[in-house]
Structure 1
Amino acid sequence: MKTKAHRIALLFNANKSFDREVIAGIAAHLGSTRSAWDLFLEEDFRLRLAGIEDWQGDGIIADFDDPDVAAALARCDVPVVAIGGSYADESEYPQGVPYVATDNFKLVKLARDHLIDVGLHRFAMFSLPISRQNRWAQEREAAFRQMMDEDGIEVEIFRGCETSAMSWDEAVQKQIAWLRSLPKPVGIIGVTDARARQLLQACTIAGISVPEQVALIGIDNDPLVRALTRIPLSSVMQGAQEMGRTAAHLLDQILHGMRLPNTRILVPPAGINVLASSQHQPIRHPHVMRARHFIRQYACQGIKTHQVAEYVGVSRSSLETYFRQELGCSVHDVILNAKLDAAKAGLESGQRSIADVALCCGFTSTQYMHLVFKRELGCTPRAYRDRVLGEREMAASAA
């Protein structure tokens, strides 16, 4: 006898990377169980609340970081499972609703600990203006403030302003002024990848070296943001898929008669994707620092050693001497390593062909990238991609 499918609404903004990951986790739960759900997800997220309190379905999983969603579902009669940020104050959680939360404290701690591991002693955070929609950002600020207070370090938090076409130039100038005011070197945690990307761009405009003077790390591991940065952005990976799986499991239990009011589940981060923006390495010679900053931005455009020397304003032989003394390698080696790192990140996404990755990362041909991978990593680009994606699938299955 065929089991009747439950009608479940997902109230998320599928334009956001985090929300898409949550939805993928819900799908993973359904794929690993016998649950039969018909899913309802609005293509235009702005339409999702119209008449939701009268919806004749069986359950809802929703983004409670959006206060409008939380308010609308307070009038809803069907079972609801909430997903959102974690709160230090218990009263901030919705009452009577199971709640799956990302652990904001651990997200910030993982980012801060990474910056400590690369040898930094000064830290700052680039946050968001205070608003009802950004309560999770304020929780991350509070976690950062607590860590700095416990370590006896002065707290440095900059919220900037909301950016728009009219205010963009003003916002960037304020970011540059803040960056220049910070003692260096400094490690900065962006409260999101989008915020960290803005600072990366401000550093480029201001001529501030990343990561020698400013090491940056974001939160979300958003592939779209990574594609928009000249210098690959390090990021903490939220456990968004695990949150989706957990929320779906809770709703399944409720649909089968269990009562789970006020259940609170904290989901830790899934890890950290360390890329060039936070790989701080103390550099004494200003010409080497300036050269590496230029290389990180333009390595994938096929730059040569003589172009780096021209940018720095010294002879090629002098720059090679400085690199040998400071880094123990040639300028060409650093350019090649930057291209290799970019190629690895491109392959790890699993969304681009090997030929496309080779072209985008400045390799003269797919065959040349193949030779570089074999020489430096002991495997082909295809084998590298298959191994990384296979490990990722095994980790997801184990979770």
Structure 2
Amino acid sequence: MNRAPSAQTPHRIALLFNANKVYDREIITGIGHYLRSTRVAWDLFLEEDFRCRLAGIERFAGDGIIADFDDPAVADALRGSPLPVVAVGSSFEDPSHYPSDVPYIATDNEKLVSLAWTHLIGAGLQNFAMYSLPAAQENRWAQQRELAFEKLLRAEGLDAQIHRGLPTSAPVWNQSIEQLTEWLRALPKPVGVIAVTDGRARHVLQACLTAGIPVPEQVAIIGIDNDPLTRTLTRIPLSSVIQGTEEMGRTAAHLLHQMLRGARFPGQRILVPPVGINVLESTRHEPLSSPHVMRARHFIRQYACQGIKTEQVADYVGVSRSSLEEHFRRELQCTVHQEILRHKLDAAKALLASRDASSAEVAIRCGFTSLQYMYAVFKRELGCTPREYQEQVAPSSAN
């Protein structure tokens, strides 16, 4: 008589991450993907409020730990742990900064920064700067990105313009934006700014919008993380480097799986490169000679979907409608209205591809006066209806 196999006793694994950060969330996602693609059975300990709780971690009656070692408190708490530990965190230029007793999965900071810098060069920029974070133990990863940036520019004989700014907090918020705005105004233009995170990239964009600095004509901005939350909070979509965080999570889970079977990898380091770049409006830099066109496009990018007219754009720029139209014809070979319509159409295409809204909702959100008008624009410009466009892009958007 055949017996059914007994259920596998799950290992108790602690995940010490701050899931308020997109970086940590995606590593956790990668761990989940590994568990779903294998027959590994783990009982995961992750605080319900998604914040790393270290009190009593040394008494955790579990079988293994995967932890974010970018937090110095986590690394200190797990030093000498009797349980198998896999560390995840930043790469370091100095090898002595890595822990020697545990395997370490690192995001490759040099490649992150190099990819962003190469993208800005490809956009035709010759001046570069970085917006970082204040020096602190918990920000060591940001300082490593500074070192990578300095190394790249030094090889080209350029000076590295780096602004660390102030910590993000309510009491110093106004002062922080004022300092950032002054720094941006003083930079040689046009300039490409690499922000060490998407959050810092959003601060740069906000300062530019407040100061009336055209993005991306005068300041092209690229962040790191590809955080969807950041994209929902900005009028001008931000380009961003996509880290290999899910691969880091899968790799960390695979190593811990092997360690639970008796394998040991003390001091092993695995660097994971970025996946690529999500290229959006903030780095679509086009060299323009007319400051009027730059200022107009800056306004159009922010408000095209709010139903603005050519007269409102001319008022913002401070010139007559006929004068602005002449500048547009010379620089862009189109009218102001056509430029507004192009932005509305691009926004509609993005919404339809995401399948987050009906055609009627897309028409309203993108500033078309009616659904019929949006249909007419799609037929004239793309040769298809909005629904047909959605069906065309459905396979690629699903990947």
TM-score by length of 1: 0.92
Equivalences for 1:237-248 in 2 at 5 Å?
237-248=242-253
Residue 154 of structure 1 deviates from its aligned partner by 1.3
Equivalences for 1:1-399 in 2 at 5 Å?
1=5, 2-46=7-51, 48-346=53-351, 356-365=361-370, 368-369=373-374, 372=377, 376=381, 380-383=388-391, 386-391=394-399
Secondary structure of 2:222's counterpart equals strand
Distance 2:51 2:108 in 1: 27
Secondary structure of 2:341's counterpart equals helix
Opposite residue 390 of structure 1, the aligned amino acid is A
Which structure 2 segments of 5+ residues have no match?
A: none
Opposite residue 279 of structure 1, the aligned amino acid is R
Please provide the CA RMSD for this pair.
2.0
Classify 1:244/1:353 alpha carbon distance in 2 versus 1 (closer, same or farther; 3 Å): farther
Distance 1:368 1:16 in 2: 41
Residue 143 of structure 1 deviates from its aligned partner by 0.1
Contact 1:52 1:76 in 2 (8 A): no
Contact 2:310 2:336 in 1 (8 A): yes
Distance 1:353 1:11 in 2: 40
Opposite residue 281 of structure 1, the aligned amino acid is E
Residue 237 of structure 1 deviates from its aligned partner by 0.7
Secondary structure of 2:241's counterpart equals strand
**For residues 125-172 of structure 1, what are the alpha-carbon distances to aligned partners after superposition, in whole Å with 9 as ceiling and x for unaligned?**
011000000000000000000000000011111111113222111111
Provide the residue aligned with 1:396 in structure 2: none
**For residues 330-389 of structure 1, what are the alpha-carbon distances to aligned partners after superposition, in whole Å with 9 as ceiling and x for unaligned?**
212222222333345545666666655544333445565566556555664533553333
Distance 1:367 1:9 in 2: 55
Distance 2:37 2:372 in 1: 40
Distance 1:299 1:341 in 2: 10
Classify 1:351/1:239 alpha carbon distance in 2 versus 1 (closer, same or farther; 3 Å): farther
Distance 1:35 1:374 in 2: 52
Contact 1:107 1:236 in 2 (8 A): yes
Opposite residue 335 of structure 1, the aligned amino acid is I
Provide the residue aligned with 1:394 in structure 2: none
Distance 1:40 1:160 in 2: 36
Contact 2:17 2:51 in 1 (8 A): no
Secondary structure of 1:167's counterpart equals helix
Distance 1:66 1:333 in 2: 50
Name which of structure 1's ranges 337-346 and 23-32 shifts more when overlaid on structure 2: 337-346
Secondary structure of 1:56's counterpart equals coil
Distance 1:120 1:63 in 2: 35
Contact 2:18 2:52 in 1 (8 A): no
Residue 312 of structure 1 deviates from its aligned partner by 1.5
Classify 1:131/1:254 alpha carbon distance in 2 versus 1 (closer, same or farther; 3 Å): same
**For residues 180-225 of structure 1, what are the alpha-carbon distances to aligned partners after superposition, in whole Å with 9 as ceiling and x for unaligned?**
1111111110111111111111111111111111111111111111
Provide the residue aligned with 1:397 in structure 2: none
Residue 276 of structure 1 deviates from its aligned partner by 0.9
Distance 2:129 2:299 in 1: 24
Name which of structure 1's ranges 106-115 and 327-336 shifts more when overlaid on structure 2: 327-336
- How high is the sequence identity, in percent, across the aligned residues? 64
Contact 1:189 1:216 in 2 (8 A): yes
Secondary structure of 1:189's counterpart equals strand
Distance 1:377 1:246 in 2: 43
Distance 1:49 1:352 in 2: 42
Secondary structure of 2:267's counterpart equals coil
Contact 2:16 2:52 in 1 (8 A): no
Secondary structure of 2:170's counterpart equals coil
Contact 1:234 1:275 in 2 (8 A): yes
Residue 12 of structure 1 deviates from its aligned partner by 1.0
Distance 1:142 1:348 in 2: 39
TM-score by length of 2: 0.92
Distance 2:67 2:358 in 1: 35
Residue 390 of structure 1 deviates from its aligned partner by 2.6
Name which of structure 1's ranges 149-158 and 40-49 shifts more when overlaid on structure 2: 40-49
Secondary structure of 1:157's counterpart equals strand
Structure 1 runs (4+) greater than 6 angstroms displaced: none
Classify 1:224/1:35 alpha carbon distance in 2 versus 1 (closer, same or farther; 3 Å): same
Name which of structure 1's ranges 141-150 and 370-379 shifts more when overlaid on structure 2: 370-379
Contact 1:60 1:80 in 2 (8 A): yes
Secondary structure of 1:139's counterpart equals helix
Distance 1:227 1:68 in 2: 32
Distance 1:339 1:245 in 2: 39
Distance 1:155 1:214 in 2: 16
Contact 1:197 1:225 in 2 (8 A): yes
